[in-house]
Structure 1
Amino acid sequence: MSTSQAQSLAYEVAAPAAPPKFPLDQWYVAGFAWELKDKPIGRTLLGQPVVLFRTADGRPAALEDRCCHRALPLSHGTLEAQGVRCGYHGLLFNGAGQCLEVPGQERIPTKARVPAYHVRERDRIIWIWFGSAEHREPTCEPPAYEVHSSGEYLYDGGVYHYQAPYQLIHDNLLDLSHLGYVHLRTIGGNASIHMNARMRVESDDSSVRVVRHMPGSVPPPTYTAAYPFRGKVDRWQEIEFRVTHLRIWTGAVDAGSESLDDPRRGGFHMRGFHGVTPETESTSHYFWTIATNPRSNPEETKAKVVEQTVMTFDEDKVVIEAQYRNMLAFGPRPLVDIHVDVGANRARRIIERLRQAS
């Protein structure tokens, strides 16, 4: 082999595999505002390697995580006032993917660019647009989440990485009947009450709403640790599903004290944001926050709720990943549906319809 042949082969790379098929023309959660600090963050979202960072003027940016010179992930680089600098040969790229500097030479090649994604920050959530060929530009603004900005709640959150497909996480969040079996130490309670709760399911072309009421319940450990209930409570669970995220409002009031249909009811509240973004067809990112309304000792109470929530999500993660491992081990055997699966099944139909349309 000649020297020229060896040099040519040294820079050949395999053509990228076709990206997994997910619903497009959607704003997906890419992270939280507080994650973008002094280092770039690399994440694979919908099969696409992306580098996230904040520009000098405070705006979030997202580029393909690949330097156009020798393909090092830009997430291995460093942040500067003008953008992200590659950690291999120092090429500097701004938030639009334009190369601003090639160290050691004045001329910047015209092809020295990196693809950029549309990204927005709203209510402390970082959203990224994955559009179809027909809708490269966003067709709408990302969703608002006033719970983070209204001042009515204290909140915190984090990020999980799942070795499981994203729709298994949807299934889990849309069916809270499992609380009495999986979360006995935290938000569980009487399993029979959970399984027999009055449930209402509504849906349209893009959303599913599940409402469950559990009057006369014994408050679970998380609730009694955060709120001075007098005895039994009337509990509620309200779940709103969208393709890229879910909002879950749970809580309780002293039994018989208020109507669970009153949108301004008091008592103890937990408002959860759940951004479920596929990484690949078999792995997922789970971006969550939990907000609460402490009656006393605000920071201490919030810390208790967050701690209990983390314990809850740890328990869910164990179950979901074990479920998926078993699915792989046993192969494509049919599964039996029961009454609590209505919401999850409707969500899957919405996703499949949007996936086919992408």
Structure 2
Amino acid sequence: MTASPLQSLAQDIAPAKPSTFPLNQWYVAALGWELKDRPLGRTLLNTSVVMFRTADGKVAALEDRCCHRALPLSDGTLEASGLRCGYHGLLFNEAGKCIEVPGQEKIPSKAKVAAFHVVEKDQIVWIWFGSPEHPEPIDEPPAYDVHTNGHYLFEGDVYHYDAPYQLIHDNLMDLSHLGYVHLRTIGGNASVHMNAQMTVESDDHSVRVVRHMPDSVPPPTYIAAYPFKGTVDRWQEIEFHISHLRIWTGAVDAGTEPLDNPQRGGFHMRGFHGVTPETETTSHYFWTIATNPESNHEEVKAKVVEQTMMTFDEDKVVIESQYKNLCRFGERQMIDIHVDVGANRARRIIERLCHATR
């Protein structure tokens, strides 16, 4: 089979390096609304990438280094034909090929930079990081129709963490911490959280954690967003995938609906969490939160987004402080408790896949 232009450029310019992250995966590179009229530079899996929109609105991604004098292409400007370097004006198309050198007609044959496979789907920009055996994508990027099915209102943003990405996984896989870290927002009674009814299922690539908290007092965020009558039956459903997590939380008035009904009503918060390593010790956290207001739609959505950002600010402080202490104390043994089952299974999946692609 003939190699595509992207595959050929990647093989010519970007020699394979051992990865400390699972390869042959689609990772979140950006949220769609981040890419407007300027190039966006970002380091993903130790790789410097520049992303931009072409004239027809599609997303392209190149190595963030001009092949002439190594200025980051993210310091350049966008034109109808491509991305122009901000140093000497070399112009590159979406495939990474130089199509113009100002002041000379001949374009050197080596004037090209590596291009990456990127796909924008449901307002999420995915980038393929393959092994030497699979430089071309072997599957489609994940779908997330919560953003497009019209049932929810949503917003999102990006956080940068000075901490390894798996510490973010650990935090999201174990929501028992809500009663201690998030008392002002989505927390609630700490004892109820620690004793929630929990089931954990997993396969070779995913983990699913389901937690139920019947007849509990709704936390501040829930009260602010929904007209509950009293106590609530509350749920937390967490799906771990290699590159992202999906978390569906919410509540119904106590005793009104079974929590295993996929069409249940009540108050919903559906979170998308794209956790992409920047380096071994830093991470990008792409998040969106979707909700289903009964009335005052924009006002309720704004409350939910504001409260969600408050919880993420609280998590960021905890995780970065945790990592500093891990560095300070070194390789000290840590114990596990019952709430760690899901996070530990996720870590085993990552470890197995890292070994498989080294």
What's the TM-score once normalised by structure 2's chain length? 0.95
The answer (yes or no) to whether the contact 1:187–1:221 under 8 Å persists in 2 is yes
Q: Residues 1-358 of structure 1 correspond to what in structure 2 (within 5 A)?
A: 20-358=19-357
3-state secondary structure, aligned to 1:272 = strand
The answer (yes or no) to whether the contact 1:268–1:293 under 8 Å persists in 2 is yes
| Amino acid in structure 2 at the alignment position of 1:253 | V
3-state secondary structure, aligned to 2:135 = coil
The answer (yes or no) to whether the contact 2:28–2:286 under 8 Å persists in 1 is yes
- 1:9 is matched with none
3-state secondary structure, aligned to 2:281 = coil
Equivalent-residue separation in structure 2 for 1:168 and 1:332 (angstroms): 15
Equivalent-residue separation in structure 2 for 1:81 and 1:316 (angstroms): 41
- 2:10 is matched with none
Equivalent-residue separation in structure 2 for 1:217 and 1:103 (angstroms): 68
- 1:7 is matched with none
3-state secondary structure, aligned to 2:249 = strand
3-state secondary structure, aligned to 1:303 = helix
3-state secondary structure, aligned to 1:291 = strand
The answer (yes or no) to whether the contact 2:19–2:354 under 8 Å persists in 1 is no
- 2:5 is matched with none
| Amino acid in structure 1 at the alignment position of 2:38 | K
CA deviation vs aligned residue, 1:243-294 (integer Å, no higher than 9, x gap): 1000000000000010001000000000000000000000000000000000
Equivalences, count: 344
What's the TM-score once normalised by structure 1's chain length? 0.95
- Deviation, 1:18, is 5.5
The answer (yes or no) to whether the contact 1:124–1:148 under 8 Å persists in 2 is yes
| Amino acid in structure 2 at the alignment position of 1:311 | M
| Amino acid in structure 2 at the alignment position of 1:80 | E
CA deviation vs aligned residue, 1:97-140 (integer Å, no higher than 9, x gap): 01010000010000000100000000000000000000000001
Equivalent-residue separation in structure 1 for 2:203 and 2:20 (angstroms): 22
Equivalent-residue separation in structure 2 for 1:128 and 1:83 (angstroms): 19
Unaligned runs of 5+ in 1: 1-14
Equivalent-residue separation in structure 2 for 1:72 and 1:356 (angstroms): 34
Equivalent-residue separation in structure 2 for 1:106 and 1:17 (angstroms): 33
Equivalent-residue separation in structure 2 for 1:233 and 1:196 (angstroms): 16
The answer (yes or no) to whether the contact 2:16–2:132 under 8 Å persists in 1 is no
Change (3 A) 1:182 1:16: farther
The answer (yes or no) to whether the contact 1:83–1:92 under 8 Å persists in 2 is yes
Equivalent-residue separation in structure 1 for 2:15 and 2:201 (angstroms): 41
Runs of 4 or more above 3 Å deviation: 15-20
The answer (yes or no) to whether the contact 2:176–2:194 under 8 Å persists in 1 is yes
- Deviation, 1:16, is 11
3-state secondary structure, aligned to 1:320 = helix
Equivalent-residue separation in structure 2 for 1:192 and 1:242 (angstroms): 28
CA deviation vs aligned residue, 1:291-312 (integer Å, no higher than 9, x gap): 0000000011000000000000
Change (3 A) 1:78 1:162: same
Equivalent-residue separation in structure 2 for 1:194 and 1:104 (angstroms): 67
The answer (yes or no) to whether the contact 1:238–1:248 under 8 Å persists in 2 is yes
| Amino acid in structure 2 at the alignment position of 1:297 | N
CA deviation vs aligned residue, 1:288-345 (integer Å, no higher than 9, x gap): 0000000000011000000000000000000000000000000110110000000000
The answer (yes or no) to whether the contact 2:240–2:246 under 8 Å persists in 1 is yes
- Deviation, 1:21, is 1.2
3-state secondary structure, aligned to 1:31 = strand
The answer (yes or no) to whether the contact 2:185–2:221 under 8 Å persists in 1 is yes
- Sequence identity, in percent? 78
The answer (yes or no) to whether the contact 2:196–2:211 under 8 Å persists in 1 is yes
RMSD of aligned Cα (Å): 1.2
- Deviation, 1:17, is 12
Equivalent-residue separation in structure 2 for 1:308 and 1:95 (angstroms): 39
| Amino acid in structure 2 at the alignment position of 1:349 | R
- 1:3 is matched with none
Equivalent-residue separation in structure 2 for 1:61 and 1:296 (angstroms): 39
| Amino acid in structure 1 at the alignment position of 2:203 | D
Equivalent-residue separation in structure 1 for 2:36 and 2:99 (angstroms): 22
Equivalent-residue separation in structure 2 for 1:127 and 1:357 (angstroms): 22
